[in-house]
Amino acid sequence: MNSATVNGIGMTSPRTRDRLIQRLADRGIDDYKVLEVMRQTPRHLFVDEALAHRAYEDTALPIGFSQTLSQPYIVARMTQLLLAGGPLKKVLEVGTGSGYQTAVLAQLVEHVYSVERIKPLQLRAKKRLAGLKLYNALCKHSDGGLGWEREGPFDGILSAAAPKKVPAELLQQLASGGRLVMPVGDAGQQELVLVTREGSSFDCQVIEGVNFVPFLSGTVS
Ligand code: SAH
């Protein structure tokens, strides 16, 4: 990928990105590292070319298969919550989607393990991450409800799809001292929750009302 592609021009230019970062800061995102990584990450490469001019608006964008690339504010909020307990070594992400959140995480933690149930999305995301040389993000086509047992336990778990309640497998794969951030609940009444684990005790904190795609079981090839 050449630098013009990565840096962008016109509606994907540095000035356009700066405006988005200012908006995130105005909305209360105050983790400097998260803001800087989001300023540097070329979100326009994670959507269809026809939508690239909207990539630095604070809005969710369609990525096909009835799925969406999350709104930048939500990506920033979830990332900031996940990192608030200190540096993270291993993070499990459920719902790779476009790979944008994966790319943001890969620049802030040691290793990202990301799973996606829709094969064509998973393959596209994998290519984009390789194009950006983010080799510390491993991607897998599988049902995230099962976690990624072989690589666990994880000190961070993040999901961009909302189950009715946090899957037991994910709680099991959360390390003691670890943090899990995900939306839960039915469409129209989802809440973003932060679960922290200490030994066998789990504390669940409700952060805010949100609107995510549903967490579905099984895979699509
Ligand atoms: N962070 C992504 C969000 C994509 S939307 C981005 O910014 O692009 C959420 C994604 O979760 C969708 O791609 C959907 O297919 C996926 N998903 C839903 N349930 C899942 C499950 N059980 N396992 C893996 N992926 C799942």
- In angstroms, the first-to-last Cα distance of the chain is 28
Q: How much is the pLDDT for 5?
A: 73
Copy the structure tokens of residue 99: 């790979």
Q: 41 in ligand 1 pocket by Cβ < 6 Å?
A: no
pLDDT tens digits, one per residue of 31-85: 999 999 999 999 999 999 999 999 999 999 999 999 999 999 999 999 999 999 9
pLDDT tens digits, one per residue of 88-103: 999 999 999 999 999 9
Q: How much is the pLDDT for 96?
A: 98
Q: 95 in ligand 1 pocket by Cβ < 6 Å?
A: yes
Q: What is the pTM of this model?
A: 0.96
Copy the structure tokens of residue 102: 């994966």
Q: How much is the pLDDT for 14?
A: 87
The amino acid present at 149, given as its one-letter code, is: E
pLDDT tens digits, one per residue of 163-209: 999 999 999 999 999 999 999 999 899 999 999 999 999 999 999 99
pLDDT band of residue 4 (cuts 50, 70, 90) is low
**Residue 126 burial (10 A CB sphere; 0-12, 13-18, 19+):** buried
pLDDT tens digits, one per residue of 104-140: 999 999 999 999 999 999 999 999 999 999 999 999 9
**Cα-to-chain-centroid distance, residue 129:** 13
Residue nearest to atom 26 of ligand 1 (CA): 95
137-141 vs 174-184, strand pairing mode = unpaired
Contact 56, 8 (CB under 8 A): no
Task: Kindly give the distance from the C-alpha atom of residue 68 to the centroid of ligand 1, in angstroms, as a whole number.
Answer: 8
| Domains of the chain as residue ranges with CATH | 65-210 (3.40.50.150)
Q: 118 in ligand 1 pocket by Cβ < 6 Å?
A: yes
Task: Kindly give the distance from the C-alpha atom of residue 110 to the centroid of ligand 1, in angstroms, as a whole number.
Answer: 22
The amino acid present at 41, given as its one-letter code, is: T
Task: Kindly give the distance from the C-alpha atom of residue 169 to the centroid of ligand 1, in angstroms, as a whole number.
Answer: 17
Q: Please list, residue by residue across 151-177, b when 16 or more beta carbons sit within 10 angstroms of its beta carbon and e when fewer do.
A: ebbbbbbbbbbbbeebbebbbebbbee
pLDDT band of residue 6 (cuts 50, 70, 90) is confident
Question: Residue 191: beta bridge partners?
Answer: 184, 209
Q: 161 in ligand 1 pocket by Cβ < 6 Å?
A: yes
